[in-house]
DNA sequence: CCTTGCCTTAGATCCTGTCCAATGTAGGGT
DNA sequence: ACCCTACATTGGACAGGATCTAAGGCAAGG
């Protein structure tokens, strides 16, 4: 994230207290918060911030490529500020917790053109599913 | 699917008209229906079948390993009877349509033990995302 | 056939996420 | 420094997907 706010301001992003707080909450590595978790932490600093604004801000950060949106089966999506370093995820099937894992190969190149069915393939997501140590105990 | 019903009956599954119809609807390859699509098609043959029963039956088929549950980002999950032949999916980011793709490598073996974080890793899912020919036009 | 424990049902309810119309404000222009 | 206004925020309504509940139905073993 580092100078996220600077980068966004240059692109004409209006800088509000709400957006600043959301960006602060998302700062760090190995952060995978749900929108409601982001809202809860943001509300500690700015009690009147609304859920709608958190959703709006997250949607824009995702759209601008600053935050990664991680689907977790039926549960709430998680937001990952570590969008610059491509990586994959290890997901606990029981509690939904997430860990980062780093790829050894490039699965995109593993998709032969013959299997593209005319799709314009943009990205690939690899999700390892299992049971985390906490849930196993 | 072939002798799905026989297999399930042996495991003590009570055989009802509703379950039979759901299994019939799911028969075939490259089938990726949502729960509501399954319900609509089942209702053509058995008009009084309820959504709850379709959900219950799908959940059990998934739990027994007879059907694969495929998450598609924010959309309704899709149910895939082709659970015996492991494969991955190519998902249209615009309309949510799905195609089967077959892996060239085994991403599970690409996960070094050093990155398991104590998880018991059960499976890996690879999702290619892009734009399908219909949506591109 | 009976019985009983499993199934099915309609509708309520939950969860995540989006939409809306009213109100507030960042920041460029003067 | 102050105004304007286009853009942002807000609370609450809304929507889709999925689960839960309590009442009644029925498969299948005896
Ligand atoms: Mn991550
Ligand atoms: Mn499939
Ligand atoms: Zn867990
Ligand atoms: Zn499409």
Q: How many CA atoms lie within 13 A of B117 on its CB side?
A: 17
Six-digit token pair at A130?
């299992």
Residues in chain B: 137
Same domain, A99 and A76: no
- Residue A119 near chain B (CB below 8 Å): yes
Residue B128's domain spans which residues? 88-136
Q: Do A121 and B90 touch (CB under 8 A)?
A: yes
- Residue B137 near chain A (CB below 8 Å): no
Summarised one tens digit per residue, pLDDT across range A82-92 is 999 989 999 99
Summarised one tens digit per residue, pLDDT across range B70-90 is 999 999 999 999 999 989 999
Query: In whole angstroms, what separates CA B127 from the centre of its chain?
Result: 14
**pLDDT band at A103; cut points 50, 70, 90:** confident
Domain CATH for B26: 1.10.10.10
Average pLDDT over residues A100-119: 79
Contacts 24+ apart (CB under 8 A), B23-31: B23/B61, B26/B1, B26/B61, B26/B67, B26/B79, B26/B81, B27/B1, B27/B81, B28/B1, B28/B81, B29/B81, B29/B82, B30/B82, B30/B99, B30/B100, B31/B79, B31/B80, B31/B81, B31/B82
- Residue B105 near chain A (CB below 8 Å): yes
**pLDDT band at A76; cut points 50, 70, 90:** very high
Same domain, A45 and A92: no
Same domain, A45 and A97: no
Summarised one tens digit per residue, pLDDT across range A12-39 is 899 999 999 999 999 999 999 999 999 9
Predicted pLDDT of residue A113: 73
Q: Do A93 and B133 touch (CB under 8 A)?
A: no
Please give the residue that has the higher pLDDT: either A108 or A66: A66
Predicted pLDDT of residue B2: 59
SS3 B2: coil
Predicted pLDDT of residue B15: 96
DSSP β-bridge partners for residue B90: B99, B128
Q: Is A62 in contact with A98 (CB distance < 8 Å)? A: no
Facing A130 at nearest CB: one of B77, B93, B120 = B120
Q: What percent of chain A has pLDDT over 90?
A: 73
Q: What percent of chain B has pLDDT over 90?
A: 77
Q: Quickly list H helices, chain A.
A: 4-10, 17-25, 35-45, 51-63, 133-136
Lowest average pLDDT, out of A2-6, B77-81, B86-90, B121-125, goes to A2-6
Predicted pLDDT of residue B33: 98
DSSP β-bridge partners for residue A129: A91, B123
Please give the residue that has the higher pLDDT: either A110 or B87: B87
Predicted pLDDT of residue B41: 98
Same domain, A39 and A98: no
**A34: Cβ under 7 Å from strand D?**
no
- Whether residue A8 is predicted with pLDDT greater than 70 in this model: the reply is yes
Q: Quickly list H helices, A11-110.
A: 17-25, 35-45, 51-63
Q: Which nucleotide is nearest to B36 (CA to C1')?
A: D17
Same domain, A71 and A93: no
Domain CATH for A99: 3.30.1490.190
Summarised one tens digit per residue, pLDDT across range A116-133 is 899 999 999 999 999 999
Phi then psi for B68, rounded to 5 degrees?
-100, 135
Pairwise CA distance, residues B14 & A61, whole Å = 50
Pairwise CA distance, residues A60 & A71, whole Å = 17
Q: What residues have CB less than 8 Å from A101, skipping those under 6 apart? A: A87, A88, A89, A90, A128, B111, B115
Residues in chain A: 137
Same domain, B17 and B63: yes
- Whether residue B1 is predicted with pLDDT greater than 80 in this model: the reply is no
Please give the residue that has the higher pLDDT: either B54 or B111: B54
Query: In whole angstroms, what separates CA B130 from the centre of its chain?
Result: 20
Six-digit token pair at B72?
């598609």
Q: Do B128 and A121 touch (CB under 8 A)?
A: yes
Summarised one tens digit per residue, pLDDT across range B28-50 is 999 999 999 999 999 999 999 99
Same domain, B73 and B11: yes
- Domain total for chain A? 2
- Whether residue A1 is predicted with pLDDT greater than 70 in this model: the reply is no
Same domain, A67 and A112: no
Same domain, A58 and A103: no
Pairwise CA distance, residues A92 & A98, whole Å = 6
Same domain, A100 and A73: no
Same domain, A70 and A23: yes
Same domain, B51 and B111: no
Question: Taking chain A, what is the end-to-end CA distance rounded to the nearest angstrom?
Answer: 35
Please give the residue that has the higher pLDDT: either A115 or B135: B135
DSSP β-bridge partners for residue A78: A34, A70
Please give the residue that has the higher pLDDT: either A66 or A113: A66
Query: Which residues of chain A are within 8 Å of residue B133 when distances are taken between CB atoms?
Result: 117-119
- Whether residue A109 is predicted with pLDDT greater than 90 in this model: the reply is no
């Amino acid at each position: 994230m580092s100078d996220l706010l600077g980068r966004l301001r240059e692109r004409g992003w209006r800088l509000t207290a709400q957006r600043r707080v959301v960006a602060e909450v998302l700062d760090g590595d190995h952060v995978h918060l749900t929108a409601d978790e982001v809202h809860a932490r943001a509300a500690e600093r700015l009690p009147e911030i609304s859920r709608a604004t958190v959703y709006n801000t997250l949607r824009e950060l995702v759209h601008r490529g600053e935050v990664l949106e991680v689907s977790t089966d039926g549960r709430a999506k998680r937001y990952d500020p570590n969008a610059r370093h491509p990586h994959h995820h290890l997901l606990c099937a029981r509690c939904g917790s997430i860990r980062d894992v780093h790829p050894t190969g490039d699965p995109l190149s593993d998709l032969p053109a013959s299997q593209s069915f005319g799709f314009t393939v943009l990205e690939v997501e690899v999700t390892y599913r299992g049971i985390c140590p906490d849930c196993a105990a």
